[in-house]
Amino acid sequence: MNSPIEIFIFILGLVVGSFLNVCIYRIPLRKSVISPSSFCPKCANKIKFYDNIPLLSYTLLKGKCRYCHEKISLVYPAVELLSGLIFLFLFFKYGLSWEFASKVFLFSSLMVIFFIDIKHQLIPDVITFPGIMAGLLFSLLTKSPPFLESLLGFFIGGGLLYLVAIIGDKIFRKESMGGGDIKLAAMLGTFLGWQKVLLVFFLASCLGAIVGIIFFIFSAKLREKRLIPFGPFLAVATVIGIFLGNRLVDLYLRLFYHI
């Protein structure tokens, strides 16, 4: 970072990341993300503003609450740092534009979904429903993807995963894909268009298969549960698709169409 605007974007990402931590903790509990102000989940003491500075406060407090000395989860600084870095990378890629705003909204939503789904196996409608509307609106502003491709991405994204869910339910004779995953897929379709959302499905399935095999081999707990949330893989695949999607497609074409 060698310019004031880059430093500002990074700090903005840290601040947004701090708010995303509030969302990650409170949304599954159906609590307001606006009030009350931040508090320690263990002792319920309100957190002073100087103890709520992204990254810095965690470091100064040595990862513990000032009052009860309970350890603060590493998720908090991780979300802040990731948000700051993602904001910066998006700025490098898109500059200050509607495209930048679109991807900031998408990535922030995916950050919340990632951590909530891992812990609670839940993808909240309060994120995906507004996300679908935002994706369609941004497509009108950015033309990337064009509105019709965004709308088609909504139907193909949600429809394809709904079809997978139906087939999975019949094969396994139980729910194989949650409704939240289907809504998330529809949301991703509005932001990415139908072509990139198909790439994201492919990447997410590959990642899910690899991680699933590893965890089922080494984790007895997962073997008993026989359930791994798919939302985090969709989130990670979206990040890969946006930053490396064109390169992956070019690599695929070179490998399989120039043999």
**Per DSSP, what are the bridge partners of residue 68?**
none
What tokens does 50 get? 């100087």
| Residue 238 CB coordination number (10 Å) | 25
pLDDT value for 36? 85
Q: Check pLDDT > 80 for residue 158.
A: yes
Does residue 28 have a cis peptide bond before it, meaning omega lies within 30 degrees of 0? no
pLDDT grade for 49, boundaries at 50, 70 and 90:
confident
Does residue 145 have a cis peptide bond before it, meaning omega lies within 30 degrees of 0? yes
Full 3-state SS string of 210-227 = HHHHHHHHHCHHHHHHCC
Give me the DSSP letters along 167-187: HHHHHHSS--S-HHHHHHHHH
How large a percentage of the chain has pLDDT more than 70? 90
pLDDT value for 229? 87
pTM equals 0.88
Q: Check pLDDT > 70 for residue 219.
A: no
pLDDT value for 12? 96
Q: Check pLDDT > 80 for residue 138.
A: yes
Q: Which of 140-144, 223-227, 249-253 has the highest mean pLDDT?
A: 140-144
pLDDT value for 209? 87
**Per DSSP, what are the bridge partners of residue 46?**
39
One-letter amino acid identity for 127? I
Give the residue extent of every domain in the chain.
1-95, 97-259
Contact 237, 221 (CB under 8 A): no
Which of 9-23, 39-53, 237-251 is the least confident region?
Answer: 237-251
pLDDT value for 178? 75
**Per DSSP, what are the bridge partners of residue 64?**
71
